[in-house]
Structure 1
Amino acid sequence: MTQRRLPSGQGPARRPSAARRSPTSGARATTGTKARTRNTGPVRAPSSRRTPGNDGGEAAKRTDAPRPRALTGRATILIAVIVALALAYTYPLRTYLDQETQIAQMEQSQAKQRETIADTAKELEKWQDDEYLRIQAREKYFYVRPGETPLLVYPDPEGAARDADEKAPAAAPDRWYDTLWSSVQAANAEPAN
């Protein structure tokens, strides 16, 4: 029969063998049942294993091994190192993202400046043309070539009507409800016959 080990990892205590017993103990063991109950070895709890005579009896008790702790010391240190690294990398990451945002804004402003420069270059090319200069001088400063008569038109409808001896434009016709109300008032003003 093999001996079971205890959950603590130690094997069972050894019983003294028959060779180590004293001569009187051996004699007692053969004489009767009293000698068998008197053992010098450590007392063991009754075994919960099934024996051939105990087939239909009570179920065997199962002992649970001690559960390991949820967080060991190594796991705690590893988590602390990971948290420290995460905290150490947050500031550089934030700085990196801020710089990326600044770079994008600067690229947009450069694109706008390039568009402005291109528009200004086109305008400069126009001002290099002599015909464009003459057109601008006529429109903005009312310059004329020698021998031309300048003609200026001022938008003044009242002065134009006065000069042409025309009447001012007629007033807008009355609205329908004004006409209706004036007819009601006229009917009311007639004397009763």
Structure 2
Amino acid sequence: MQRRQPGGQGPVRRSRDGGRGTRGTGGTRARDGERSASRPAAARRAAAAGAAKRTTAPNPNGLTGRATVLLVILAALALGYAYPVRVYLTQLAEIEALRQSQLAQQERIAGLERQAEKWKDDEYIKAQVRRRFYWVYPGQTPLVPIWDPEKQTDKELGAEPAAPPPPDSWYGKLWTRLEPEPESKN
């Protein structure tokens, strides 16, 4: 039985020794272990006289197959570690925000404790009652400021007082019409 080789070199005769017979083209008998299956077929055959030697084409992008596989593996690892690193950094930011919040709460608690200590003093309580409820001792004349005591007045700033905003209600408009006009400073 004769078969053709895949390359079309002609029929191959198989012998009874497991197919390691002679070639149909009159080649030599192959010895055990001498023939390497890892070598390409072009390297196993002798080149014809005057034939050009085969060379590999240069890779235009400069990446070999190994480098491409390595880059793919590194990209997969980077993508695999990106999410856990992001979660870690987010958790670090949350921990820092909680520390800042805790410090602010501790400062607030300390301020409230200082305030509570002040309320244990009778003189402080009297001063707060006089300031908040406008209480006076018997015989004193109460003076109630009509402006915010924490803000400076226009006179203190050296500017002329600003005109009050026009009233929005009907009774406010009526009252402004009934009031006499202020005298000018001429």
User: What TM-score, normalized to structure 2?
Assistant: 0.45
Q: Which protein has the bigger helix share?
A: 1
Higher relative contact order (CA 8 A, sep 6+): 1
Rg bigger for which structure? 1
User: What TM-score, normalized to structure 1?
Assistant: 0.44
